[in-house]
Amino acid sequence: MVNWILGEKFHQRYPHLDGVKALWETKWKFPCSLGVYPFHDGKLEDFQPIFEKLIRDNVNDAYTDKYTEYFFPTAEKLTDAAMSSQVSDRAKAASLFKRAACVYRISRYPSLDAGSGTKRKAFELQKQVYLRGASLWDAPMKEVRIPHTAASGADGKEIPLFVRLPRGASSDKKCPVVLLITGLDGHRPDNSERTDEFLVRGWGCVITEIPGTADCPSDRRDPTSPERLFSAILDWMDKQPYFDMRKCMAWGLSCGGYYANRLAHTHHSRFAGIVAQGAGSHYFLSKEWLERVDDHEYPFILSEAYVSKFGYKDWEDMKDNAQKDYSLVDNGIVHGPSCRLLLVNGTSDGLVPIEDSMILMNYGRPKEARFYEKMLHMGYPPANEAIWPWMESVMATAS
């Protein structure tokens, strides 16, 4: 039995799990009012009426089509307003498209595979309104679909990416680039704020989803499929005339942080540095940890989304086999060389134990880390104060 740094909270059931009313009032209403995760680009005025209706109608299971459908009228209204504003006020239209995309985002929680296809429909609509709005930006976001040149087995043949470049990037003016790796429920259209920050620094970005989520073509049940995915993406990036691949970094978010840890070792020679935020490596898929993960800070029950993402038969199958299949320690990946790797998380993370970052200190090249005392998953809100300066320093010295 592990003596978890999370302490007594490991055995507690967090209060927001008592239903949508508790979720909204104790966990989501305040960040929504501030426009922060997971409500980037959203407004309280959009979500307050939706959650009031959900609460009134006692709709508490976010895995259902019924939950998702409550969000559609608001998203459609915002989309119509954005469409009407495109000619007269491009900035207003872009903002309204972002708001519509955020409403669709919350509607598709926690897994696109849940229900009968309504959440997948929400995701398709989210991408449409997001890209329509992104086409109005000074530096637009675009979708690029590249061949999966390393595909094998059950992998799909095409990899959809989002790409955003700073103005003026060209073969004569190459830009540094960040490969942004999304998480379990955060997908490509959910990263406007980060990509804005990349542009401020003169960096381009490529955004990819992880196996078992959204549009990622990788075989979700094959633990080696990410190596093929990232090889194909990096090979494509190498061929683009506007990327300075000597200054290439990656940043993995939440469940994407696991893949960042993996990538820092399997493709270490292709990166100047990698950030793994809220990242798993070994313990997060142990049976002991998974037994209690549904009780912690994830907005809803996590187990159903996990089973779908990793492709197991059921929750018992996953608890019995996930660590054996995916541990970066047990499979030996972290015993090999790595690029510079920054590990960031909160010490009170109830989704991915802080031990998963700490254990990497025992292997291979020395790692860099910033842990935030008593902060939850990802180390927010203060985590960015460590991430941005570290990335800047790596980019400045890469050659």
pLDDT reported for residue 18: 96
Q: List pLDDT tens digits, range 142-183.
A: 999 999 999 999 999 999 999 999 998 989 999 999 999 999
Q: List pLDDT tens digits, range 250-272.
A: 999 999 999 999 999 999 999 99
Q: Which tokens go with 152?
A: 């094998």
Known catalytic membership, residue 148: no
pLDDT reported for residue 399: 84
Would you kindly state where each structural domain of the chain is located, as residue ranges? 1-137, 139-399
Mean pLDDT of the region 289-306? 97
Query: 12: Cβ–Cβ under 8 A, 6 or more apart, which residues?
Result: 295
Percent of the chain scoring above 90 in pLDDT:
97
Whether 307 has a pLDDT exceeding 80, the answer reads yes
Known catalytic membership, residue 238: no
1 pLDDT band (50/70/90 cuts)? confident
The size of the chain, in residues, is 399
**Nearest residue to 221 via CA among 269, 288, 154:** 154
> CA–CA separation, 264 vs 273, rounded Å?
8
**Nearest residue to 333 via CA among 275, 258, 276, 391:** 258
pLDDT reported for residue 2: 87
C-alpha distance from residue 95 to each of 78, 131, 191, 257, 356 (Å): 10, 12, 14, 29, 38
Mean pLDDT of the region 69-76? 98
CA angle 116, 121, 122 (to 5 degrees): 115
> CA–CA separation, 279 vs 261, rounded Å?
7
Mean pLDDT of the region 77-96? 96
**Nearest residue to 104 via CA among 120, 85, 126, 83:** 126
DSSP state of 42: -
> CA–CA separation, 218 vs 304, rounded Å?
20
What is the CATH superfamily name and number for domain 139-399? Alpha/Beta hydrolase fold, catalytic domain (3.40.50.1820)
pLDDT reported for residue 105: 98
pLDDT reported for residue 141: 97
Q: Of the residues 187, 265, 282, 377, which is catalytic?
A: 377
DSSP state of 45: H
| pTM for this prediction | 0.97
49 pLDDT band (50/70/90 cuts)? very high
Query: 313: Cβ–Cβ under 8 A, 6 or more apart, which residues?
Result: none
Whether 330 has a pLDDT exceeding 80, the answer reads yes
Q: Of the residues 185, 215, 349, 356, which is catalytic?
A: 349
**359, burial (CB in 10 Å: exposed 0-12, middle 13-18, buried 19+):** middle
213 pLDDT band (50/70/90 cuts)? very high
Known catalytic membership, residue 265: no
Question: Phi, psi (5° rounding) for residue 167?
Answer: -60, 135
Q: Which tokens go with 379?
A: 């180390």
Whether 196 has a pLDDT exceeding 80, the answer reads yes
Q: Of the residues 254, 281, 286, 308, which is catalytic?
A: 254
